[in-house]
Amino acid sequence: MSKISIRDNLLRVEENIESALIASGRNKDDITLVGVTKTVDADSINEAISYGIENIGENKVQEIMDKYDKINKNVNWHMIGHLQTNKVKYIIDKVDLIHSLDRMSLAKEINKRAKSESIIKDVLIQVNIAEEVTKFGLKKEEVIPFIESILDFKNIRVKGLMTIAPFSENPEEVRFVFRDLRNLGYEIEKKNYENLEMKYFSMGMTNDYKVAIEEGANIVRIGTAIFGKRVY
């Protein structure tokens, strides 16, 4: 991937995001672009940062550990992948937002590790709207009981919801996923839980971010459209 193409790709993605926001009557700054950097080397990530990327997302603890010291410090890290309980300790002081809280054992561990660092960790709850067996996340109807069971965890702050839509050639087919997640957010907001904000809706990837934005995404996680096809 040459310099020019990361820059051009990023510009194109930013233009698309802006037009989707404007088309849906939203403020053009009402979104956070997370550049998904899994498998991307540190030089390319730093290059993207030099073009204005302020948030990067990784899905593996090991990759965060390997890259952390090589990446420009002026960037926020997002843990977007499945998080093993025994690895929380390695990233608790490195990531700004964990998108993948999906079970009690993980909530307990994040709370415990955050407490020992004297910090409050911002998290999103991952919801498996389409109930795909291959994906992690709580089922829709499990989310409110789960939230209520962690309300007194002092070192975790729930900031919103995250979902991954099933892959589809036609993103219109997964519009309901984004709409359902946003509606679940409204339902949770109405409960007026203390110290809990439905501020972020992390939804939309390369294939479907325009539809996700139209349905209220304010964090999009985009890898391929910026860095090119991943080579594993």
The binding site for ligand PLP (CB under 6 A) comprises 36, 38, 59, 80-81, 164, 205-207, 221-225
Nearer to ligand PLP, 31 or 153 (CB): 31
Burial of 183 from C-beta contacts in 10 A (0-12 / 13-18 / 19+): middle
- Measured CA to CA, the distance from residue 96 to residue 71 in angstroms comes to 15
Q: Which residue is nearest to ligand PLP (CB)?
A: 223
Nearer to ligand PLP, 81 or 216 (CB): 81
- Measured CA to CA, the distance from residue 115 to residue 23 in angstroms comes to 43
Nearer to ligand PLP, 9 or 111 (CB): 9
**Residue 124 Cβ vs ligand PLP, minimum distance, rounded to whole Å:** 11
Contact partners, residue 182, CB within 8 Å, separation at least 6: 201, 215, 216
Instruction: Categorise residue 228: left if φ over 0, alpha if ψ from -120 to 50, beta otherwise.
Output: left
**Residue 205 Cβ vs ligand PLP, minimum distance, rounded to whole Å:** 4
Nearer to ligand PLP, 13 or 158 (CB): 13
**Residue 57 Cβ vs ligand PLP, minimum distance, rounded to whole Å:** 7
**Residue 141 Cβ vs ligand PLP, minimum distance, rounded to whole Å:** 22
- Report the candidate in 97, 91, 105, 93 with the shortest Cα–Cα distance to residue 60: 91
Nearer to ligand PLP, 111 or 207 (CB): 207
- Measured CA to CA, the distance from residue 13 to residue 1 in angstroms comes to 16
**Residue 145 Cβ vs ligand PLP, minimum distance, rounded to whole Å:** 24
- Measured CA to CA, the distance from residue 8 to residue 78 in angstroms comes to 23
